[in-house]
Amino acid sequence: MRPLGDFSTEALLRELARRNDGERHLKPVTRWCENCTHWRNSTSEADTCNNCTRDHAMEFRMPESPSSEDYGFYRRGCQDWSRRLEPRPAPPSRGSQPRRAT
C-alpha cells in the first residue's frame, strides 16, 4: 500500500468526501483509469500534468485495507474509457519505493 504522502491533498479530501457521502449505494468501480488507454504515468515529481490524456477530472479511491486491490483513479461513466491491451510501462520510482501509479 502506498503511503498517504504519495497522494495529493485534493485526492485525499475527495476520498474523505466520498466515504462521508456513503458511496456504498453506488455500483463498485470496475473501470480503473490505470487500465485505460488514455492513462499516462507522471514522468517525475515535478510533472503535474493531468494523468488522463483526455484531460478529464478523476476521482481517487484509497485502499480500505493493506491487502485491498480496489484503489486508484477512476471516473464514473467515462465515455472515453477503453481497455489498455498492452502492459503499462512501469512508473518511475521515487527513492527505493516502487510506485503503482501517479
* Site membership for ligand SF4, residue 52 (CB under 6 A): yes
From the list 4-12, 19-27, 48-56, 92-100, the region that binds ligand SF4 by CB under 6 A is 48-56
Cα 1 from chain centre: 13
Q: Which is nearer to ligand SF4, 30 or 96 (CB)?
A: 30
* Site membership for ligand SF4, residue 100 (CB under 6 A): no
* Site membership for ligand SF4, residue 94 (CB under 6 A): no
Report how far residue 55's alpha carbon sits from residue 64's, in angstroms, rounded to the nearest whole number: 27
Contacts of 41 (CB under 8 A, 6+ apart): 51, 88, 89, 91, 92, 101, 102
Q: Which is nearer to ligand SF4, 32 or 62 (CB)?
A: 32
Which of 63, 70, 78, 100 is in the footprint of ligand SF4 by CB under 6 A? Answer: 78
Report how far residue 59's alpha carbon sits from residue 56's, in angstroms, rounded to the nearest whole number: 10
Report how far residue 10's alpha carbon sits from residue 14's, in angstroms, rounded to the nearest whole number: 6
Q: Which residues are at the interface with ligand SF4 (CB under 6 A)?
A: 33, 36, 38-39, 52, 54, 56, 58, 75, 78, 80-81
